[in-house]
Amino acid sequence: MVLSLFLIVADYQIETMQKVRSWLSVAVTPVQWLVDLPEQSWTWVNDRLQEREDLLAENRQLRAQLMLAEREVQKLASLTAENVRLRELLNSAQKLDEQIRATQLIGVNPDPFVHQVIVNDGSQDGIRVGQAVLDQTGVMGQVTATSPFTSRVLLVTDANHAIPVQVNRTGLRSVAYGRGNYEHIELVDIAHTADIKVGDLLVSSGLGLRFPEGYPVAEIILVDRDPGREFARVLAQPTARLSLSRQLLVVSTPHQQQQQSVEQQ
């Protein structure tokens, strides 16, 4: 106590103590810095983590918005062809009114003979069997089974899958069947005289009320008019990136929406 009182008095009375105080402040600075380091580090890490979470959330939102925009772009080719064929503009505009939901691929069936994926939305999210599934470039497949939190999607290339299509250039209708090969699907019962050629775009025809009309399905890559066959052999490559896409869209036709409303009542 005596020493403390002496230092207090000396600090005010002796001019040299000002220099001593300055030296002591310099000596204590590293200690103060070390004491404050954990708090500063925690604040820095917390800010970085918060910024990362904000960026991830913004990235997810932008991805969903991009897919919605690309969905509209997918229909432009079909709508253009319909305008050329003098269809009513009102009917064309109404086809953009399907109900959609963004979802994400979380699993792939390991069986090489089953082309099936799993998405992270289920019946609790409004997903129903029969709804079409798209990526940003075309039709992926359709929902074949649901659980409360996940759904199974059968891809268009699966051997048990079929989808009604039409040639976008001419309006020729057919059915495209999966053959268990990710590289192509096949059109059946195409006459040798049918107006179809390599490069033609196939879009969903809307027949069967399961797939909405006008979405890209595949592009013709082979037309073999062998006289020895009753029908021409026609192969098409899916436009959807079946082995790459993770962000998907589940689409309900107006007919499916009406059925769902009846079930809920």
List the domains of the chain with CATH numbers: 2-60 (no CATH), 98-265 (2.40.10.340)
pLDDT, residue 122, reads 94
pLDDT, residue 209, reads 84
Beta strands of 37-161 (E only): which ranges? Answer: 99-108, 116-119, 132-135, 138-146, 151-155
One digit per residue, pLDDT tens: the chain, 265 residues?
888 777 777 766 666 666 666 666 666 667 667 766 777 777 777 777 778 888 888 888 888 888 877 777 777 766 766 666 544 433 434 445 578 889 999 999 999 899 999 999 999 998 999 999 999 899 999 999 999 999 999 999 999 999 999 999 999 999 999 999 999 999 999 999 999 999 999 999 989 888 988 999 999 999 999 999 999 999 999 999 999 888 899 998 877 777 766 666 6
pLDDT, residue 261, reads 67
Q: Could you give the angle at the alpha carbon of 208 between the alpha carbons of 173 and 109, nearest 5°?
A: 100
Paired with 117 in beta bridges are: 108, 153
Tell me the three state secondary structure of residue 72.
helix
Instruction: Give the ranges where 171-253 is alpha helix by DSSP (H).
Output: none
Yes or no: say if 217 and 228 are a contact pair by the CB < 8 Å rule: no
What is the number of other CB atoms lying within 10 angstroms of the CB of residue 79? 17
Tell me the three state secondary structure of residue 185.
strand
Of 129, 121, 154, 122, the C-alpha closest to 260 is: 129
Q: How far, rounded to the nearest angstrom, does the alpha carbon of residue 157 sit from its chain's CA centroid?
A: 19
Phi and psi torsions of 221, nearest 5°: -120, -15
